[in-house]
Structure 1
Amino acid sequence: MNNKFVGTGVALVTPFNSDLSINHNALTNIVNFNIDNGTDYLVICGTTAESVTLTKQEKKDVIATISKANSGRLPLVLGIGGNNTVSVIEEIKSTDLRGIDAILSVSPYYSKPTQEGIYQHFKAIAEVSPIDIILYNVPGRTSKNMEVETTLRLAKDFKNIVGVKEAGNNMAQYYELIKNKPEGFLIISGDDDLVLGVTLAGGAGVISVIGQAFPKAFSEMIRLGLKGEAKAAYKLHFKLLDVIGYIFEENNPAGIKAVFEALNLCQDTVRLPLVPASNTLKAKISDFVNTF
């Protein structure tokens, strides 16, 4: 098993200033806040980072800032995915992957390929990637579920495909993956609300959104779950449950950025087509943070 990615990974936000430029100081502070409070690995340029709105140069700058702040302390995972297989391959080949431990690659969105199309997409990526790959299934965003058979076929066929971030919000699918996965293949939850149950069932932990705002409590919950200490873990789960709901109530990452604003770690600024959380939602989030 690749223990680098067992535990709590966090899908980092990209903090913006009021003029929509990247706030690299805030990003550095968020990285240190997570390292100091028990997060196990960092995910760069995922969905929560608003990566689709970042230019190529901005992505390079974000990677550089996080890598410098991390200074080799935690494993780093970089999001490189898309629905144009050739472009994804070109991006992998042209990106400086020194210091990056794995690629997180989302299942092709919008195009709605068949299961064979999804398999061939990841096959082509696996054949060129010089580092490990974590698949990412998020049918709520891609409009196409990567079925269990496809994930397991890829897991068995390619040694450098080491896990899947599963975010279908479907416990039956999680159970089937955990039950039938090859030895050492990681089933990583992408559903903050379901992750404890997934971990207790044999999952490898999480790539979380809320975890980056409450890293101490969230990573402790996952550690307890990995040890099978359900009662203590569920105490933390129920303590965090309301805010997990809040951050996804309107859109991600507007919700998590509202949490960070309440924690004085960054502004709640997002880039269009996203808009900041409503005042009603911000009030709920602020109340939660103040009483946590």
Structure 2
Amino acid sequence: MSLRKQLQGTGVALVTPFKTDAQVDFEALGNVIEAMIKGGVEYLVTLGTTGETPTLDKQEKLDIVHYTFEKVAGRVPVVVGIGGNNTQELIKDLHHFPLEKAVAVLSASPYYNKPSQEGLFQHYKAIAGASPKPIILYNVPGRTGRNLNADTTLRLANEVPNIAGIKEASGDMAQCMQLLRDRPEQFLIVSGDDALALPQLACGMDGVISVAANAFPKQFSDMVRACLKADLKTAKKLNDQLMAAYDLMFAENNPAGVKAFMHEEGLLQNVVRLPVVPLSAGLHQKVKAYGKH
């Protein structure tokens, strides 16, 4: 089965639950994984940036990957996030991380360095050559400071065999439509913008790697499946119900927003690691009120 078929639908960029002393809460992580699978999502993404990977050390990352595979036990596909701005260090990670049970690696574009388009191409070409699993590009210029443009993405898709798809979170619909028009047939294109997912799916994207699905796995994945079946009336109805939640979730910080929702659902402690802080009291009250509506 091609990756494009295997990862159609909703993937969840899993949060990393922490205990009150800020250590990784594996029991809560297990509960979150069970809730996602029970909610009907198609696959899981571990060690995405929603998992606060910039504040996890190497051993914690390894422990989370091992635990996730153990808990999932083959029930749904798992994608592992390995990204960053040091190409050589990423190549080492691709050799050392336990990727045997992963279906792909999601790799965020280099942040802060602001490489040229040629630099981005060479970065991804180098890590794709080192990776034992297919690479999914992750374009999120709001966090990295540099857009991976459509021409560079298509060049990677056509010229580098181990590059299998992209999580596109530029927010640029014209760029998205260019990618969808010109992609190779088996190249996976998924949304990385929960609030734009419905129109992007309607334009032809294969699914979403979602933050919001951590808190609303059934409702969000039902919306995505309806859209993929061209049942836009059902999809719009479900999405309309979630729009206020998207606004609250991303008003201050990700994952502080989604963790507030999950805390109110009893899934985890409302703990994040610095430099991220929990939602302000006023915003958290709005999250609490949303859960009662």
Normalised to the residue count of structure 1, the TM-score between the two structures is: 0.98
Question: 2:159 matched to which residue of 1?
Answer: 157
1:141-180 alignment to 2 at 5 Å? 141-180=143-182
Question: 2:89 matched to which residue of 1?
Answer: 87
Q: Choose from 35, 39, 47 the match for 1:45.
A: 47
1:176-195 alignment to 2 at 5 Å? 176-195=178-197
- CA offset digits 1:112-162 (Å, max 9, x no partner): 100000000000111111111100000000100000000000001123211
CA distance in 1, matches of 2:108, 2:53: 12
Tell whether the 8 Å contact from 2:214 to 2:262 is kept in structure 1 after alignment: no
1:263-278 alignment to 2 at 5 Å? 263-278=265-280
Taking only the aligned residue pairs, the percentage that are identical comes to 49
Question: 1:200 matched to which residue of 2?
Answer: 202
**CA drift at 1:66:** 1.3
CA distance in 2, matches of 1:289, 1:157: 47
- CA offset digits 1:189-214 (Å, max 9, x no partner): 00000011111111011000001211
**CA drift at 1:97:** 0.9
CA distance in 2, matches of 1:96, 1:22: 19
CA distance in 1, matches of 2:54, 2:127: 20
Unaligned ranges ≥5, structure 2: none
- Partner amino acid, structure 2, of 1:110: Y
1:6-45 alignment to 2 at 5 Å? 6-45=8-47
Q: What SS class does the counterpart of residue 75 from structure 2 fall into?
A: coil
- Partner amino acid, structure 2, of 1:229: D
- CA offset digits 1:11-54 (Å, max 9, x no partner): 00000011001110100000000001111010001110001111
CA distance in 2, matches of 1:184, 1:79: 21
- Partner amino acid, structure 2, of 1:23: D
Q: What SS class does the counterpart of residue 218 from structure 1 fall into?
A: helix
- CA offset digits 1:48-90 (Å, max 9, x no partner): 0001111111111111221111111011111111111101101
Q: What SS class does the counterpart of residue 28 from structure 1 fall into?
A: helix
CA distance in 2, matches of 1:131, 1:210: 26
CA distance in 2, matches of 1:260, 1:65: 20
Unaligned ranges ≥5, structure 1: none
Question: 1:287 matched to which residue of 2?
Answer: 289
- Partner amino acid, structure 2, of 1:204: D
Q: Which runs of 4+ in 1 moved over 3 A?
A: none
CA distance in 2, matches of 1:261, 1:238: 23
CA distance in 2, matches of 1:149, 1:281: 40
Question: 2:69 matched to which residue of 1?
Answer: 67
Q: Does 1:125 align with 2:136?
A: no
**CA drift at 1:172:** 1.3
Q: What SS class does the counterpart of residue 194 from structure 1 fall into?
A: helix
Tell whether the 8 Å contact from 2:66 to 2:98 is kept in structure 1 after alignment: no
- Partner amino acid, structure 2, of 1:196: L
